[in-house]
Amino acid sequence: MKTTGGSDAAKRNAGESAADLVTDGMVVGLGTGSTAAHAIRAVGRAVDSGLDVRGVATSFASRELAREAGIPLSDLDEVNGIDLAIDGADQIADGDLVKGGGAAHAREKIVDVAADRFVVVADPSKEADRLDRAVPVEVLPAARETVAAAVRSAGGDPTLRSAERKDGPVVTDNGNLVLDCEFGPIDAPSALAATLSETPGVVEHGLFVGVADEVHVGTDDGVTVRELP
C-alpha cells in the first residue's frame, strides 16, 4: 500500500486508537490508505479474538486488506447503516479534509458521510492551518475537458493524474479519471465544495467539509484525540 507523510509508528498509533472504538455488533466503514490500513489490521486482530463486526470497504485495496485480515464484509447496500467509519486524510484544517490521494474519495465519501460517527486517523504531517493541497476531483472520462475548464473558471489549475506504473492516467475503482486541482490556500472550503459538486461530469471531489466527528492524530509515542463540534 502506498504510504505518505509521517512515520509508520505515528500512523499505527492513530489507526489502532480508532480501532479501539469498534465494539461487538458494529458495522464499520473501512477507509483507504496507509493510516486506515493500520486500523483495518487492528480490527482484524480483534475479530480473530472473537469480536463480531461487519466491515464495509471504501476501495478495492481496503477490501483486499480486510479480507486478508479476516474481517467479514458486506456491501453498503446490504447493511442497515454504518455505526463507525475510520478513514485517513491527506490534509486536515479546522476539521475539514482533503482526501483522495489514493483516488478512493468517491466511495470513501459515501461511506464516511453515511456513518453515525466518522473518525479520521492521521499523523501530524497532515495538520494545517488552512487547506491548500490540490483537491482530487473524480470525473467521468467524457467530461475531462469540460470539468477542467470549469475548474480553471473557479480559479484552479487541474492536472490529470497519471499512473506511476503504467502508461496513461490513473483509472479509479469506478472506471473514471482524476484531476488534481490546485487552488492555493482554500479560504472557503464549503463554497468550493459546492462549486465542484455542481459541475456536470464531476463524480466526486476530495473536499470533506464538516463531515468528520473526531480526529485521532498519532505520534511516535501516542495519540491525541480531538472531538469536532
Ligand X SMILES: O=C[C@H](O)[C@H](O)[C@H](O)COP(=O)(O)O
Q: Which of residues 4-23 bind ligand X (CB under 6 A)?
A: 4-5
Nearer to ligand X by Cβ, of 44 and 102: the residue is: 102
- Choosing from 108, 138, 204, 214, the catalytic residue is 108
Q: If binding is defined by CB under 6 A, does position 33 make contact with ligand X?
A: yes
DSSP state of 136: E
To the question of whether residue 95 is assigned a binding role by annotation, the answer is no
Give the span between the Cα atoms of 95 and 215, in whole angstroms: 8
Binding mask 99-118 for ligand X (x = CB under 6 A): xxxxxxx--x----------
Out of 83, 87, 173, 214, the residue judged to bind ligand X by CB under 6 A: 87
Give the span between the Cα atoms of 116 and 119, in whole angstroms: 10
Instruction: Return the CA Rg of the chain.
Output: 17
Q: If binding is defined by CB under 6 A, does position 156 make contact with ligand X?
A: no
Nearer to ligand X by Cβ, of 52 and 60: the residue is: 60
User: H helices within 32-78, ranges in order?
Assistant: 34-48, 60-69
Q: If binding is defined by CB under 6 A, does position 161 make contact with ligand X?
A: no
Enumerate residues 6+ apart whose C-beta is below 8 A from 132: 91, 183, 184, 185, 186
What residue has cell string 486500523? Answer: 39
For the annotated binding site for substrate, the residues are: 32-35, 87-90, 99-102, 126
Please report, as ranges, the residues that interact with ligand X according to CB under 6 A: 3-5, 31-36, 87-90, 99-105, 108
